[in-house]
Structure 1
Amino acid sequence: MNAKAIAALIGTAAALAVAAGATQVAGAPISGTNATGSAQPLRVKLDEFKLKPDTAKVKAGKVKIKATNVGDGEHELVIAKTRR
């Protein structure tokens, strides 16, 4: 994977991390709990130059991310904590 693709993947992963703290919107339902309960699932498909999450936002609280490589090449998902 080249540097440009890695940078794009990190940027998208950071956006997902920010979205994890937001409220769920209409669309694909995702089961979850409140901030004090167990982790809610977020499934993400990794493809060439794109991420395909099953939902755009999740409830605030713990999130368990399951990443599946559906592309031809090797992929990895990196989540980085950023300052607010």
Structure 2
Amino acid sequence: MSSEVVREPHRRPIADLGVNARLNAGFDIYTEPGTGMNHGFATISTGDGYRLYGIDVLTGSAVDKGAFPKHRQVTDLAMPVNQK
């Protein structure tokens, strides 16, 4: 079963990530200053360790960006506000 993206306040699923995510996961959105385009990123445990995913903020679909090293598991992330 795949995890779902949930919209507040009604807490109804709006999309399927396409990834069988475990409970401990991190998510943040980066907005490009010049274009205003939003990019979602998530750290998701899939059982073998944590992986980085790009999340489409309109559809909720996840694209695997790669695994973190076994000795450096990342469970959350935060994008810098003033990133250029």
Q: Greater strand share, 1 or 2? A: 2
**Could you state the TM-score of these two structures normalised by the residue count of structure 1?**
0.31
Q: Greater helix share, 1 or 2? A: 1
**RCO (CA 8 Å, sep 6+): is it higher in 1 or 2?**
1
